[in-house]
């Protein structure tokens, strides 16, 4: 049967050449449409690197000098730090609160974060900074994914001492260097001593999990994170805690502006990413529908034009099943060749330009740099997945365009098929 199929393909080189060219172009268009969708959906499915459940954020603010509640003596830096610690202790003592920590100007899902550079032998990587106040139970409160046998409690104990000492005692993502562990790194070039390791952490909506590092600092941020125990009803807890916080956390010039679940804070800047995903999904579905309708119509008409040939095959004893299977096999082989050629052509473009980056192409942006590195490391899996999806879609469309007319034509008696043509 295969010999007959290849013989039939060879007898129609010109006709199938045009069909093959069309399918190659379709393959490349499908790749362009599917690439960003697969990237965005893959990113959405990745772990954040910490546990956002049962986590709340207290947003603080300070009275300005024109307020009647403003106290100039509270502006002393030492006094201001004492006031922050007082607020943290009060939150920890609230019924149902498991732990609490300072959440400074950098950290997961902060837009104002910055990075530090690390070097291991000839390898260089950038890690996003999370400012940690010594003794504030930062890792325990956020419950980072534990790696390498070190618990979050151990990491908090390791990060003791005065901020801004050299070398920095830091916690670094264990996977910061591809294929190598970051544990025990003593980076004398950049003055960092890695005393513990943690997981990769998602730092913004639409971003891949990235290497992170800690940096000791003083309590100066405008928010506090706290975790409540499992089983607490948020609908009851949040209003009661918010009212209590506004009445009891006014310390010095600082007061409570709002209290929110941390997941709401995570998604504050996620509307654009989600809208991007929705728009791309709708547009991809729209274009794919009409693209596949065109491919189906092409094979439909091409199959119907072979009425006489099908009549001849039936006159030589070919069964309906044999005719339909041979025509489907022809289309399947043609679609497979087109996907191989189309994907290889797109591979040349992808190797040069890189796969879709949802965070833009600004080379100075650490998100862009690490996203590009991430997709380079997972290039083989990503490329294989989209190629297989493209192959399956093209096979379904081509088979649909062949099967219905082939089934109808195979029912016509050979004398009628030959006579009408």
Which residue is it, tokens 């943290």? 88
pLDDT band at 85 (very low <50, low <70, confident <90, very high): very high
* Tens-place pLDDT, residues 9-33: 555 566 667 788 888 888 888 888 8
In the sheet where 212-216 sits, what is the strand order? 115-120, 123-132, 212-216, 168-173, 192-198, 186-187
Question: Bridge-partner residues for 225, per DSSP?
Answer: 57, 101
Question: Bridge-partner residues for 132, per DSSP?
Answer: 216
Using a 10 angstrom Cβ sphere, with 0-12 exposed, 13-18 middle and 19 or more buried, the burial of residue 104 is buried
Q: Which of 321, 285, 316, 343 is nearest to 406 (CA)?
A: 321
Tell me which range, 43-57, 109-123, 196-210, 372-386, is most confidently predicted by mean pLDDT: 43-57
Helix (H, G, I), strand (E, B) or coil at 218: coil
- Kindly state the tokens that stand for 191: 């003055």
Q: Which is higher by pLDDT, 97 or 334?
A: 97
Q: Please tell me whether the peptide bond between 167 and the residue prior to it is cis, using omega within 30 degrees of 0.
A: yes
pLDDT band at 421 (very low <50, low <70, confident <90, very high): very low
Helix (H, G, I), strand (E, B) or coil at 411: coil
The Cα 24–Cα 27 span in angstroms is 5
Q: Which is higher by pLDDT, 176 or 258?
A: 258
Mean pLDDT of the chain: 79
The Cα 200–Cα 333 span in angstroms is 43
The Cα 62–Cα 256 span in angstroms is 9
Q: Which of 231, 207, 210, 198 is nearest to 53 (CA)?
A: 231
pLDDT band at 367 (very low <50, low <70, confident <90, very high): very low
Helix (H, G, I), strand (E, B) or coil at 382: helix
Q: Which residues contact 401 (CB under 8 A, 6 or more apart)?
A: 295, 296, 297, 298, 299, 300, 302, 303, 331
E strand spans, 103-185: 115-120, 123-132, 168-173
Q: Which is higher by pLDDT, 319 or 177?
A: 177
Using a 10 angstrom Cβ sphere, with 0-12 exposed, 13-18 middle and 19 or more buried, the burial of residue 101 is buried
E strand spans, 143-253: 168-173, 186-187, 192-198, 201-202, 209-210, 212-216, 223-228
Question: How many residues are recorded in the chain?
Answer: 421
Tell me which range, 166-170, 253-257, 349-353, is most confidently predicted by mean pLDDT: 253-257
């Amino acid at each position: 049967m295969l010999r007959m199929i290849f013989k039939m393909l060879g007898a129609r080189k010109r006709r199938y050449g045009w069909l093959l060219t069309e399918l190659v172009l379709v393959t490349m268009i499908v790749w362009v449409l599917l690439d960003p969708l697969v990237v965005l959906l893959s990113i959405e499915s990745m772990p954040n690197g910490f546990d956002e459940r049962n986590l709340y954020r207290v947003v603080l603010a300070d009275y300005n000098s024109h307020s009647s509640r403003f106290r100039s003596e509270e502006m002393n830096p030492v006094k201001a730090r004492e006031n922050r610690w007082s607020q943290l202790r009060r939150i920890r003592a609230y019924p149902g609160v498991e732990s609490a920590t300072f959440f400074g100007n950098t950290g997961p899902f902060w837009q104002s974060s910055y990075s530090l550079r690390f070097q291991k032998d000839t390898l260089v990587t950038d890690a996003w900074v999370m400012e940690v106040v010594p003794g504030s139970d930062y890792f325990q409160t956020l419950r980072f994914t534990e790696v390498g046998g070190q618990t979050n409690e151990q990491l908090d104990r390791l990060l003791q001492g005065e901020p801004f000492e050299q070398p920095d005692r830091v916690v670094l993502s264990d996977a910061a260097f591809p294929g190598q562990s970051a544990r025990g790194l003593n980076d004398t070039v950049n003055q960092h001593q890695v005393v513990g390791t943690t997981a990769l952490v998602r730092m913004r909506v639409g971003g891949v999990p990235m290497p992170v590092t800690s940096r000791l600092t003083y309590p100066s941020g405008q928010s506090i994170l706290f975790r409540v125990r499992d089983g607490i009803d948020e609908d009851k807890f949040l209003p009661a805690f918010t009212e209590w916080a506004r009445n009891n956390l006014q310390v010095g010039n600082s007061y409570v502006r709002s209290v929110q679940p941390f997941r709401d804070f995570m998604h504050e800047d996620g509307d654009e990413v989600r809208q991007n995903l929705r728009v791309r999904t709708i547009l991809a579905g729209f274009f794919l529908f009409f693209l596949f309708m065109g491919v189906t119509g092409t094979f439909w008409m091409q199959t119907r034009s072979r009425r006489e040939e099908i009549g001849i095959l039936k006159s030589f004893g070919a069964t309906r099943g044999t005719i339909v299977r041979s025509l489907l096999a022809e289309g399947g082989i043609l679609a497979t060749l087109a996907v191989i050629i189309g994907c290889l052509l797109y591979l040349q473009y992808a190797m040069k330009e890189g796969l879709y980056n949802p965070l833009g192409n600004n080379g100075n942006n650490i998100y862009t740099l690490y996203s590009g590195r991430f997709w380079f490391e997972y290039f083989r899996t990503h490329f294989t997945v989209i190629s297989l999806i493209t192959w399956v879609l093209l096979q379904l469309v081509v088979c649909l365009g062949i099967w219905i007319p082939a089934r109808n034509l195979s029912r016509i008696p050979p004398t009628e098929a030959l006579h009408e043509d």
